[in-house]
Amino acid sequence: QQQVKQSPQSLIVQKGGISIINCAYENTAFDYFPWYQQFPGKGPALLIAIRPDVSEKKEGRFTISFNKSAKQFSLHIMDSQPGDSATYFCAASNNSGAGSYQLTFGKGTKLSVIP
Amino acid sequence: NAGVTQTPKFRVLKTGQSMTLLCAQDMNHEYMYWYRQDPGMGLRLIHYSVGEGTTAKGEVPDGYNVSRLKKQNFLLGLESAAPSQTSVYFCASGRGAWKTQYFGPGTRLLVL
């Protein structure tokens, strides 16, 4: 069964600090790894995504680090702000064969950034 | 553009009742998805569609049916609601492989 394991379940970070959320996967056929951000009462929205041909992708304060051999990837939020307080989901998909175009999500991390 | 819209926003059902959730997208996306979100469980795929007239099962399809008669609409049906189907349901659409999925605002369903 395809699985994406996400940790921690919740995270409290002080304003200006670094938030780190980790994910691990089992299916070596996964070839797309997005992160989604969800605010209370809203649907998830794509934050940043990476494909396994690169080890890191940065967009503003958000960085994905990808370790193909360890089958792990992580989200780093630099200079965390109270407005970053949300639930973050990692996800993975394989885009060929059975199950194409399906995203498998982690269980989410609730991030709270305190002033 | 409205993006992805969902109807209704909130619904209360009694066990055994039926209902249909409507999802509409105005981005001309081929792919549409229905997820359910439960506390501590993340988002789980119920059914999805890769084009008008086609549907496929996801991770948790039991108790649900779907239809995609028009490209812009994806309907999720519950024939006989059960308390275990109490959840928040999200619809999403996208262009397929390696592409963003755009989510609707969700439908909160309570089955008593």
Chain A interface includes B13 (CB < 8 A): no
A30-83 pLDDT per residue, tens? 889 999 999 999 999 999 999 989 999 999 999 999 999 999 999 999 999 999
CB pairs under 8 A between A and B: 64
Query: Among residues of chain A, what percentage have pLDDT more than 70?
Result: 94
Distances (CA, A) of A50 to A6, A39, A58, A62, B37: 16, 22, 10, 12, 24
pLDDT of A99 over the 70 cut: no
Chain A interface includes B105 (CB < 8 A): yes
Chain A interface includes B108 (CB < 8 A): no
Q: How far apart are the first and last CA of chain B?
A: 36
Chain A interface includes B92 (CB < 8 A): yes
Q: Which residues pair with A112 in a beta bridge?
A: A12
- Asked if residues B74 and B82 have their Cβ atoms less than 8 Å apart, the reply is no
Q: Which of A34, A43, A105 sits opposite B42 (nearest CB)?
A: A105
Check CB contact under 8 Å for B97 and A51. no
Across chain B, which has 112 residues, the per-10-residue mean pLDDT values are 93 97 96 94 93 92 96 97 97 85 96 97
**pLDDT given for residue A96 in this prediction:** 64
Work out the burial of residue A98: count CB atoms within 10 Å of its CB; fewer than 13 is exposed, 13-18 middle, 19 or more buried. exposed
Measured between beta carbons, which residues in chain B are less than 8 angstroms from residue A5? none
B82-95 pLDDT per residue, tens? 999 999 999 999 98
Measured between beta carbons, which residues in chain B are less than 8 angstroms from residue A51? 98
